[in-house]
Amino acid sequence: MGLELFNTFILLLLVVTALAALRVRDLITAAAVLGVYSFLMCLLWAEMGAVDVAFTEATVGAGISTVVLVATIFNLKRKSND
Amino acid sequence: MFEDGAIINELLIERLNYIIYVVLLLIGLHAMISKQNLIKKLIGMSIFQTAIILFYVSIAVKDNATIPIYKTEHDPHGDAAKAAVLDSNRSGEETKAFYAPVMLKPEETQQYSNPLPHVLMLTAIVVGVATLGLALALCLRIQQGYGTVEEDELLVKIERSDARYSQSPLAKAKNRRRTQSRNTRKPRTSVKSTKSIGKSAKSLESRDSTKTKKTTSKSNLSQPKKKPASTSRKPRSSSSKVEGSKPTTPKAPAKKASEKTRAPKKKGAE
Amino acid sequence: MKWISLIPVVGVGVLLLFAAQDFPEWGDPQSPASQSPVASHFINNTGVDTEVPNMVTAVLADYRGFDTMFETVVVFIAGIAVLAILKGSGGRRRGTRRAYEVEAEPDIIVTHTVRLMVPVIQIFAFYVLAHGHVSPGGGFQGGVVMGASFILVALAWDLDHALVRMSLPRCMAIAAAGIIIYAGIGFLSMFLGGEFLDYAELEKVLPVSREMARYHAMLGVEIGVGFTVTSIMFALYANLSTEGRLKGGL
User: Are the beta carbons of A72 and B140 separated by less than 8 Å?
Assistant: yes
Work out the pLDDT band at B60, boundaries 50, 70, 90.
confident
User: Are the beta carbons of B34 and C92 separated by less than 8 Å?
Assistant: no
Residue B98 has pLDDT above 60, yes or no: no
Pairwise CA distance, residues A8 & C104, whole Å: 46
Q: Chains with ≥3 Cβ pairs under 8 A against C?
A: A, B
Handedness of CA C64, C138, C183, B123 (dihedral sign): positive
Residue B259 has pLDDT above 80, yes or no: no
Closest CA to C142 of C157, C127, C152, C153: C127
Work out the pLDDT band at B224, boundaries 50, 70, 90.
very low
Task: Provide the number of structural domains found in chain A.
Answer: 1
Work out the pLDDT band at B104, boundaries 50, 70, 90.
confident
What are phi and psi for residue B172, nearest 5 degrees?
Answer: -60, -45
Read off the pLDDT of residues B20-33 as tens digits, 9 standing for 90 and up: 889 999 999 999 99
Read off the pLDDT of residues C233-249 as tens digits, 9 standing for 90 and up: 999 999 998 887 777 76
Residue B48 confidence (pLDDT): 94
HSE (CB half, 13 Å, CA atoms) of C228?
32
Residue in B61, B130, B140 nearest the CB of C86: B140
ipTM: 0.94
Read off the pLDDT of residues B109-145 as tens digits, 9 standing for 90 and up: 888 888 999 999 998 998 899 999 999 999 998 888 8
What are phi and psi for residue B96, nearest 5 degrees?
Answer: -65, -35
Q: What is the mean pLDDT of residues B166-193?
A: 56
Work out the pLDDT band at B85, boundaries 50, 70, 90.
low
Q: Chains with ≥3 Cβ pairs under 8 A against A?
A: B, C
Task: Answer for the pair B106, A38: CB distance below 8 angstroms, yes or no.
Answer: no
Interior/surface letters C112-142, b for 16+ CB within 10 angstroms, e for the rest: eebeeebeeeeeebeebbbebbebbbbbbbb
Residue C18 confidence (pLDDT): 87
Task: Answer for the pair B157, B145: CB distance below 8 angstroms, yes or no.
Answer: no
Domain spans, chain B: 70-112
- Please report residues of B whose CB lies closer than 8 A to that of A56: 122, 125-126
Residue in C136, C140, C147 nearest the CB of A51: C136
Please give the residue that has the higher pLDDT: either B229 or A7.
A7
Chain C residue with minimum CA distance to A64: C148
The Cα angle at residue C135 between residues C134 and C141, in degrees rounded to 5: 120
User: Are the beta carbons of B76 and C45 separated by less than 8 Å?
Assistant: no
In total, the C-beta contacts within 8 angstroms joining chain B to chain C are 183
Please give the residue that has the higher pLDDT: either B51 or B174.
B51
Please give the residue that has the higher pLDDT: either C91 or B262.
C91
Residue C126 confidence (pLDDT): 93
Please give the residue that has the higher pLDDT: either C178 or A2.
C178
Residue B197 has pLDDT above 70, yes or no: no
Work out the pLDDT band at A57, boundaries 50, 70, 90.
very high
Work out the pLDDT band at B80, boundaries 50, 70, 90.
low
What share of chain B has pLDDT > 90, as a percent? 15
Distance from CA of A78 to the nearest CA of B (A): 10
Residue C149 confidence (pLDDT): 93
- Please report residues of B whose CB lies closer than 8 A to that of C229: 126
User: Are the beta carbons of A76 and B24 separated by less than 8 Å?
Assistant: no
The residue of C98, C152, C233, C246 whose CB has the most chain A CBs within 10 angstroms, and thus the best one to mutate to test that interface, is C233
Work out the pLDDT band at A48, boundaries 50, 70, 90.
confident
Read off the pLDDT of residues B247-258 as tens digits, 9 standing for 90 and up: 444 444 444 444
Chain centroid to Cα B200, Å, comes to 34
Per-residue pLDDT of chain C (250 residues; tens, 9 = 90+): 678 888 989 999 999 888 887 887 777 778 888 888 888 888 888 888 888 888 899 999 888 889 999 999 999 999 999 999 988 776 555 555 566 666 677 888 999 999 999 999 999 999 999 998 888 888 899 999 999 999 999 988 888 888 888 888 999 999 999 999 999 999 998 888 888 888 888 888 888 888 888 888 999 999 999 999 999 999 999 999 888 777 776 6
Residue B266 confidence (pLDDT): 42
| Three-class SS of chain C | CHHHHHHHHHHHHHHHHHHHCCCCCCCCCCCHHHHCHHHHHHHHHHHHHCCCCEHHHHHHHHHCHHHHHHHHHHHHHHHHHHHHHHCCCHHHCCCCCCCCCCCCCCCHHHHHHHHHHHHHHHHHHHHHHHCCCCCCCCHHHHHHHHHHHHHHHHHHCCHHHHHHHCCHHHHHHHHHHHHHHHHHHHHHHHHCCCCCCCHHHHHHCCCCCHHHHHHHHHHHHHHHHHHHHHHHHHHHHHHHHHCCCCCCCC
Residues spanned by the domain of A56 = 2-75
Read off the pLDDT of residues C90-114 as tens digits, 9 standing for 90 and up: 655 555 556 666 667 788 899 999 9
What number of other Cβ atoms are within 10 A of residue C195's Cβ? 10
Residue B75 confidence (pLDDT): 78
| Type of residue at C36 | S
